[in-house]
Chains A and B, each alone.
Chain A
Amino acid sequence: MSLTTIDDAGRLETVRLGMWAFLASELMFFGPLLLGWAYGRISMPDGFAWASRQTDLWLGTLNTAILLSSSAAMALAVQLSALQLKRQVGRCLLACAALGVVFLLIKFYEWHREWAEHLFPGPDFAGPAHTGAPYFFVVYFSATFLHAIHLTIGIGVTLTMWRRVHKSLGPLPQPALHAAGLYWHFVDVVWVALFPMLYLVERTP
């Protein structure tokens, strides 16, 4: 019996709690974007609908499927780590990070096209200037960009975890794996919310 420090058994729960507190914070971080979107959707529905139709539905859907799959790979990695299946855990982590990279590449391609089509709000915006279309794209670019930053961090974390798993000689670092997993799933959850908000407002007029 010693001073209350964190022993190994409690470490996982402590880390999970810490990560969840952080994710609660992250959720609130995305709150203003959700609010900004709701404001635009309510007060400028036509511009929003038009603007939403300019996004690439199929690439968006593909990307959502990719991110959902990456989350599944991450869940596998975390759950298999309890069985100490080192090789399988490593592979799942690698697959997860790879899917994340593919997502980013597709996203960059989308941005590139939208930029070329003058959908970035500004003086030479291609759409109707005063009906909420530019506002939609402010939300669109801000949200997808911030999501991409989070995803990039997630890829970095996942690859770091992969290296740790790859090099570890003893038991797998469960608390760290759980934390990395929670973060990845959160980034996925954000996209699950963003996808209908940005791509599916009113596809068919």
Chain B
Amino acid sequence: MSSYLTEGPTLRQWLTTTDHKKVAILYAIAITLFFFIGGAAAVIIRLELATPQGDLVPAQTYNELFTAHGVIMVWFFLIPSIPSVLGNFLIPLMIGARDLAFPRLNLASWYIYLIGGVGTLWGMLLGGVDTGWTFYTPFSTMFSNSHVIIVVLSVFFTGFSSILTGLNFIVTIHRLRAPGLTWFKLPLFVWAHYATSIILVLATPVLAMTMVLIVIERLFQVGIFDPALGGDPLLFQHLFWFYSHPAVYIMVLPAMGVVSEIIPTFARRKIFGYRFMAYAIMGIALLGFLVWGHHMFTSGMSMYAGMTFSLLSFFVAVPSAIKVFNWTATLYKGSITFDAPMLYALGFIGLFTIGGLTGLFLAALALDVHLTHTYFVVAHFHYIMVGGAVAAYLGGIHFWWPKVTGRMYPEMWARVAAAMLFFGFNLTFFPQYLLGYEGMPRRYHSYAPEYQLLNVLSSAGASILAIGYLLPLCYLAWSLFYGRHAPSNPWEGRGLEWKTLSPPPVENFSNPVVVHSHVHEVAGEGAA
């Protein structure tokens, strides 16, 4: 049987494909591009911050740089990263389906994403946006002289690619599971993507409408959020964070899904507390919708709402902790091997835990007054998004690389890259916790001289981190041509995706899939 990679190889066939595996690869190429564009902005930011004076770029350019970094990394890399690449490729394989429920919609979502991305880049090239990725009003609507509208509309547009992906996953997971594959036999990766899809479908449209309202207020100079014209700026923050807090879970839940597949495989044990892990995923998704106000404690919001939001934010720690404990318990008495995916997954657990715990600092009302708008916040969310989501994404890419490409990556280089990512990341962002605690505000291109030492450490760490990102790009590309051919199940994984060839045939499986037992000890009938 021919693999999906050799079937229909022309560019035209790739660009019109409706095969979920190929669309996943289209997504992978696009988000990698955006990752390095967003990363380039971060490089200039870290270079600027190596010295206290604002000497490399003017303040305005600096504002545009961190906005570009935020917008591109959040909407054009992190949000689509694991769902649209790994989820897209693996969900049908993991549930024994031929494709997603709506294959053409899947391709459409990639084009929508691409058009939004090009629009954003165009806005950046025209001169950029200086509002920060949060687009706070009334600055973004009444004061900023940058290219807000085009970027905001691009983000609006890209939202629909998220919605279509989420919708497709929900319907696929409900309707296309193989016979016998009941909900509590599903891999946690699929559970995580189900929860993520609900967030994608229900939260993204709120962001979309908020972006529309920005455009209306800015174009017609009417009051929606502008207090001078009868609007309420907090209304904007409510709407923005109603999406943007759950958006964190759009990034982290799939990451948890990836880690929940990697850990049992390399510890050679069943995941500990499978049902609780599934409940915890759904719990996080639900609670994630109730806590957005913790971004607004010092905005002048109601004290009582602040207390409620603070309390609810603390509740999120419960399911998150269940997950961390269960991953750890899975390791207990396992025969662990430290292949690269496992290194990334272990890194994820550590960094996510630090990021999560410092999140509790920020969710505490009084402490937040001291820490908000400082580098503490920057460090916190980078621990979650980079230490958590990006590490898991890279772990997942390595883990399923043999399945996706049919080639093995060079193990030694991959371990080096994983280690560099871990150390580089900590060196970059741990000093930022200290900087924030000492009061260095975020989003300024110059700072008081006493902060220089920690900033230099951070910039040094960023250069190591950069190599940690560039290395995989090189050796993974190399492995595409020179890597060892991969067997169908190189890690002795237990999921259905390992029962088919590497790379899978166009039809995913050559024979019907029937699941008799728990998916982690699947007795799939007659897979290839």
Question: Is B378 close to A, CB under 8 A?
Answer: no
- What is the bound-complex CA distance between A22 and B95, given in angstroms? 23
Decide yes or no: A21 and B220 within 8 Å by CB, A4-B176, A4-B178 being known contacts: no
Question: Is B24 close to A, CB under 8 A?
Answer: no
A135 near B224 with CB under 8 A, answer yes
- What is the bound-complex CA distance between A168 and B385, given in angstroms? 51
Question: Is A17 close to B, CB under 8 A?
Answer: yes
Question: Is A204 close to B, CB under 8 A?
Answer: no
A29 near B208 with CB under 8 A, answer yes
A3 near B201 with CB under 8 A, answer no
Residue in A17, A39, A135 whose CB lies within 8 Å of B171: A17
User: Measured between C-beta atoms, what is the minimum distance from A4 to chain B in Å?
Assistant: 5
Q: A5-13, A87-95, A105-113: which lies at the B interface?
A: A5-13
Interface flags for B475-512 (1: CB within 8 Å of A; 0: not) read 00000000000000000000000000000000111001
Interface residues of A in 7-41 (CB under 8 A from B): 10, 13-14, 17-18, 21-22, 24-33, 35-36, 39
- What is the bound-complex CA distance between A27 and B166, given in angstroms? 15
In the bound complex, residues from chain B placing their C-beta under 8 Å from that of A43 are 232
In the bound complex, residues from chain A placing their C-beta under 8 Å from that of B222 are 121-122, 134, 138
In the bound complex, residues from chain A placing their C-beta under 8 Å from that of B170 are 17, 21
User: Measured between C-beta atoms, what is the minimum distance from B234 to chain A in Å?
Assistant: 9
User: Measured between C-beta atoms, what is the minimum distance from B169 to chain A in Å?
Assistant: 10
Interface flags for B71-98 (1: CB within 8 Å of A; 0: not) read 0000000000000000000000001111
Residue in B171, B223, B512 whose CB lies within 8 Å of A134: B223
In the bound complex, residues from chain B placing their C-beta under 8 Å from that of A146 are 212
The chain B residue with its CB closest to the CB of A27 is B205
The chain A residue with its CB closest to the CB of B174 is A17
User: Measured between C-beta atoms, what is the minimum distance from B501 to chain A in Å?
Assistant: 14
A28 near B205 with CB under 8 A, answer yes
Residue in A25, A130, A135 whose CB lies within 8 Å of B163: A25
Question: Is B175 close to A, CB under 8 A?
Answer: yes
User: Measured between C-beta atoms, what is the minimum distance from A147 to chain B in Å?
Assistant: 13
Total residues of chain B contacting the partner, CB 8 A: 49
In the bound complex, residues from chain A placing their C-beta under 8 Å from that of B474 are none
In the bound complex, residues from chain A placing their C-beta under 8 Å from that of B204 are 25
Decide yes or no: A29 and B209 within 8 Å by CB, A4-B178, A17-B175, A44-B230 being known contacts: yes
- What is the bound-complex CA distance between A35 and B235, given in angstroms? 8
Question: Is A132 close to B, CB under 8 A?
Answer: yes
B238 near A35 with CB under 8 A, answer yes
B213 near A18 with CB under 8 A, answer no
A32 near B213 with CB under 8 A, answer yes
Decide yes or no: A122 and B221 within 8 Å by CB, A36-B235, A132-B230 being known contacts: yes
Residue in B168, B202, B205, B239 whose CB lies within 8 Å of A35: B239
User: Measured between C-beta atoms, what is the minimum distance from B303 to chain A in Å?
Assistant: 18
Pick the 8 closest A-B CB pairs, nearest first.
Answer: A29-B205, A32-B209, A121-B222, A28-B205, A21-B167, A3-B98, A4-B176, A135-B230
Q: A26-B205, A142-B213 are in contact. List 13 more A-B contacts (CB 8 A).
A: A1-B179, A1-B512, A2-B512, A5-B97, A10-B175, A14-B175, A17-B170, A17-B171, A31-B205, A31-B206, A44-B230, A121-B220, A138-B222
Q: Which A residues lie at the B interface, using CB under 8 A?
A: 1-6, 10, 13-14, 17-18, 21-22, 24-33, 35-36, 39, 43-44, 47, 121-122, 130-132, 134-135, 138, 142, 146
A-B contact pairs, 22 of them (CB 8 A): A1-B179, A2-B512, A3-B507, A4-B98, A4-B177, A4-B178, A4-B513, A5-B98, A6-B176, A17-B175, A18-B101, A22-B163, A28-B201, A28-B205, A29-B206, A31-B205, A47-B230, A121-B220, A134-B229, A142-B212, A142-B216, A146-B212
